[in-house]
């Protein structure tokens, strides 16, 4: 891992040390048109079976809890605070381990499926991680991952408002942004090529969205509890909060609420 990627990994570790469980707390309340969270969409993609399932970058164990009734599951993450949160959620003795995604302590061809929720783009080096997943999956084993997708450019929404506010504030307050992700994981064609190189086939990408009406204050707190705003100096963070709340208030059209929409891709692939 290069120095830039190491700096990004250190930032992510610090963020999750401070905010264990934040990802599931934010995303579990957003649902699709049939009432499923993005975690439930992913859990449904991992079909029933007797073979073990790995939740990679399991965080606080939210997906593991969904999978547990139908699968033999294990969860792995590099962050100790998240694993402690998962242990509290799942109970003592839960099959959890601290592990590097590129060096999994799992035997070759031992798994029937791997699930990964909103994390594959954060796991570096991406080629090494995909090769390791191919190693631990049995032939035709399933890799299923949910990844964030960009919102439509012509539709105003809280995420596009946040990006515009961030750009305005970061122009004033210089921020050294670490390399926290590999954007190739977020581009369907690039990811398909990487998966093919790692001996995966039958790649399918399904786009979906989950949403929830929120007050301006709720949406603002939701957006500020993401990666990067905490890199701003106090004055910059305060400015970002003001700009964001003002722009969200314009978006609500006088109703007092905005619809927060999270666009995602469900990507499935099979080990050759």
**Burial tier of 48 (Cβ tally within 10 Å: 0-12, 13-18, 19+):** exposed
Chain segment 177-217, per-residue pLDDT in tens? 999 999 999 999 999 999 999 999 999 999 999 999 999 99
List the strands of the sheet with 111-117, edge to edge. 96-98, 73-77, 53-56, 111-117, 137-148, 257-271, 200-215
Taking the model in full, what pTM does it have? 0.95
Sequence-distant (≥ 6) Cβ neighbours of residue 127 within 8 angstroms: 194, 197, 198
Tokens 């307050």 appear where? Answer: 173
Chain segment 5-49, per-residue pLDDT in tens? 789 999 999 999 999 999 999 999 999 999 999 999 999 999 777
The pLDDT of residue 225: 96
What mean pLDDT value characterizes the chain? 94
The two three-digit tokens of residue 90, written as one number: 């799942």
CB 23 within 8 A of CB 147: no
CB 244 within 8 A of CB 223: yes
Tokens 């060096």 appear where? Answer: 103
- pLDDT bin (cut points 50, 70, 90) of residue 100 is very high
């Amino acid at each position: 891992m290069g120095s830039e990627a190491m700096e990004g990994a250190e930032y992510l570790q610090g963020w999750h040390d401070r905010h264990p469980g934040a990802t599931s707390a934010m995303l579990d309340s957003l649902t699709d048109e049939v009432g499923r969270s993005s975690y439930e969409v992913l859990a449904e993609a991992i079909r029933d079976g007797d073979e073990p399932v790995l939740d990679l970058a399991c965080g606080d164990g939210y997906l593991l809890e969904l999978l547990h009734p139908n699968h033999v599951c294990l969860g792995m993450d590099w962050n100790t605070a998240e694993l402690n949160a998962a242990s509290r959620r799942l109970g003592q003795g839960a099959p959890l381990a601290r592990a590097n995604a590129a060096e999994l302590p799992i035997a070759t061809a031992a798994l029937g499926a791997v699930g990964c929720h909103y994390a594959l783009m954060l796991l570096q080096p991406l080629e090494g991680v995909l090769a390791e997943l191919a190693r631990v999956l049995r032939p035709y084993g399933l890799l299923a991952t949910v990844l964030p997708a960009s919102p439509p450019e012509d539709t105003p929404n809280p995420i596009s408002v946040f990006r515009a506010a961030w750009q305005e504030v970061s122009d004033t307050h210089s921020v050294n942004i670490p390399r926290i992700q590999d954007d190739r994981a977020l581009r369907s064609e690039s990811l398909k090529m990487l998966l093919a190189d790692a001996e995966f086939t039958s790649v399918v990408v399904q786009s979906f969205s989950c949403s929830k009406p929120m007050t301006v204050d709720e949406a603002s707190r939701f957006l500020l509890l993401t990666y990067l705003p905490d890199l701003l100096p106090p004055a910059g963070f305060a400015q970002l909060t003001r700009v964001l709340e003002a722009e969200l208030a314009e978006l609500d059209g006088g109703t007092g609420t905005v619809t927060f929409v999270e666009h995602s891709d469900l990507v499935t692939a099979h080990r050759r």
